[in-house]
Chain A
């Protein structure tokens, strides 16, 4: 079993839909969780991060962590065509320093249809 599993996708939704992107993990030591967004033919960029359990909201985006279930989610409300990208979850057992290396999910490609 891989340490981080991400729904394989691809995912296609109509504009305005609520999107739920999910990752599960097996390493209970993970405590720092991040979502990166990657547009086609570009490098990833950090979208959101969360420490430990709970929710974090930023505009139309909400990151949710459930450490008891080893499950993280990214919700996108009122999805827009500009949200069409690949979304990668990433997580780490340490915060800061050389030991904070990230384990990435495979990424899921989202397409929002106008």
Chain B
């Protein structure tokens, strides 16, 4: 089992560019989530999905889009990157809800210039 994988590991964007962060899991988990982690802010939920075809907003969804066409994949799209989106992004998956064990990916470090 690879668990939760994320690509790329590092990315530098210019303001206004768009990109997609990839996330995949091979544990057949229904729940998948995207978090961002900023110094002094802890982990904040961006978007989440409770199954293929079902997504919802978290605490900080503005500037991000998600889709879930398969159980395995949950990409995060930055529509028009801004310096405020400089952060470390983590994808996580879990079986039955956020209070079940969440398995986190290794993270994507994004810098927006």
Contacts and interface: CB of A to CB of B under 8 A. Distances in A.
B42 A43 contact: no
A7 interface: no
Given A88-B42, A97-B96, A104-B42, A46 B101 contact: yes
B98 A100 contact: yes
Contacts of B105: 43
B48 to A, nearest CB: 8
Contact of A95 (B42, B48, B92, B99): B99
Contacts of B107: 41-43
Interface in A74-110: 88, 90, 92, 94-98, 100-102, 104-107
Contacts, number: 64
B41 A106 contact: yes
Size range of the interface on B? 20 to 34
Nearest to B43: A104
18 contacts: A6-B42, A43-B105, A44-B43, A46-B102, A49-B99, A94-B97, A95-B99, A97-B97, A98-B48, A98-B56, A101-B45, A101-B58, A102-B98, A104-B42, A104-B43, A104-B44, A105-B42, A106-B41
Interface of B: 4, 31, 40-45, 48, 50, 56, 58, 90, 92, 96-107
